[in-house]
């Protein structure tokens, strides 16, 4: 009975988070265009197009967990799901729409750190899922950690390419290649030389730091069988059921003793 209550609580938490984040994105899609139309000062805002684009993108990627669950039959732990939703909310709505990227100096750095750590956890999850389906080849703890680290860095590099592409074609300034006013209203001038690389290289360095931290923790966890990351790792539904059965068996054995 307690397990059923726990499942219902987790399911309710997921739904509440989903709709909070989804409504925040949808309301922003209404608010920003209205400001552009009726507020003459706001109309000069160079980032309103980026706000709309980010919110539309957010409304798409917010459904990725549901797609993975239904199409690939993956089980996404509640802790990972909560981190994922919080990241989307803090990066798109709070960061872009509420302008925390301009108001809080380290906001972008903190988000890059958290995203790289989540991606490293996803890297560990992918190895677990592949190992489950392949009984012939088992990676050592070192190579599992190496894969998680390189996977996180690869995704970070793809994101930088993504930012560069949209900056180049739509002038979004996602890579902060240009100096903006403190409130993000106007672009003052383009950066050159070393200064123009600072944002991108800082992002990559932070991505590497987050990936290394999780990879080291994961290495120790796998090597010593500590299961420190298990609560965050995605699994196939059959594997998740197996874990639940193992836990139930342990409880039964403990009760018998």
* Residue closest to 207 by CA, chosen among 103, 89, 109, 76: 109
pLDDT band at 196 (very low <50, low <70, confident <90, very high): confident
State yes or no: pLDDT of 134 exceeds 70.
Answer: no
State yes or no: pLDDT of 19 exceeds 50.
Answer: yes
pLDDT band at 254 (very low <50, low <70, confident <90, very high): very low
List, in sequence order, every beta strand (DSSP E) within 1-107.
74-75
Q: What residues form DSSP beta bridges with 187? A: 180
Provide mean pLDDT across the span 173-179. 83
State yes or no: pLDDT of 43 exceeds 70.
Answer: no
Residues 191/177, Cβ–Cβ less than 8 Å: yes
Tokens for 3, please give them. Answer: 């397990």
Looking at residue 50, its pLDDT comes to 86
If one compares 55 and 236, the residue with the highest pLDDT of the two is 55
Provide mean pLDDT across the span 91-116. 92
pLDDT band at 102 (very low <50, low <70, confident <90, very high): confident
List, in sequence order, every beta strand (DSSP E) within 41-175.
74-75
Looking at residue 38, its pLDDT comes to 78
Across 23-27, 44-48, 103-107, 172-176, least confident range: 44-48
- CA–CA gap between residue 170 and residue 147 (Å, rounded): 34
Provide mean pLDDT across the span 87-95. 95
Residues 76/14, Cβ–Cβ less than 8 Å: no
If one compares 42 and 101, the residue with the highest pLDDT of the two is 101
Across 1-10, 134-143, 182-191, 248-257, least confident range: 248-257
% of the chain at pLDDT higher than 70: 81
The overall average pLDDT reported for the chain is 84
If one compares 201 and 5, the residue with the highest pLDDT of the two is 201
Looking at residue 253, its pLDDT comes to 42
If one compares 213 and 192, the residue with the highest pLDDT of the two is 213
Helix axes 48-61 and 2-38, enclosed angle (nearest 10): 160
Q: Is 178 helix (H, G, I), strand (E, B) or coil?
A: strand
State yes or no: pLDDT of 17 exceeds 80.
Answer: yes
Q: Is 235 helix (H, G, I), strand (E, B) or coil?
A: strand
Q: Is 96 helix (H, G, I), strand (E, B) or coil?
A: helix
């Amino acid at each position: 009975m307690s397990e059923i209550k726990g499942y219902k609580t987790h399911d309710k938490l997921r739904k509440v988070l989903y709709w909070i984040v989804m409504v925040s994105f949808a309301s922003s899609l209404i608010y920003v265009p209205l400001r552009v139309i009726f507020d003459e000062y706001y109309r000069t805002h160079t980032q309103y197009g980026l706000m709309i684009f980010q919110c539309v993108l957010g409304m798409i990627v917010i459904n990725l967990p549901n797609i993975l669950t239904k199409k690939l039959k993956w089980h996404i732990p509640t802790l990972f799901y909560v981190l994922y939703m919080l990241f989307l909310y803090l990066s798109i709505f709070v960061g872009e729409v509420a302008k925390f990227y301009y108001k809080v100096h380290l906001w972008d750095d903190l988000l890059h750190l958290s995203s790289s750590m989540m991606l490293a956890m996803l890297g560990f999850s992918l190895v677990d899922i592949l190992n489950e389906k392949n009984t012939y080849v088992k990676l050592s703890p070192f190579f599992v950690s190496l894969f998680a680290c390189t996977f996180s860095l690869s995704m970070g590099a793809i994101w930088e390419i993504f930012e560069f592409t949209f900056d180049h074609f739509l002038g979004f300034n996602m890579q902060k290649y240009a100096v903006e006013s403190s409130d993000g209203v106007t672009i003052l001038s383009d950066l050159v030389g070393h200064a123009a690389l600072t944002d991108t290289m800082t992002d990559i360095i932070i991505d590497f730091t987050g990936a290394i931290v999780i990879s080291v923790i994961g290495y120790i966890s796998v090597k010593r069988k500590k299961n420190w990351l298990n609560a965050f790792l995605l699994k196939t539904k059959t594997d998740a059921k197996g874990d639940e059965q193992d836990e139930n068996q342990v409880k039964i054995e403990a009760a018998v003793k």
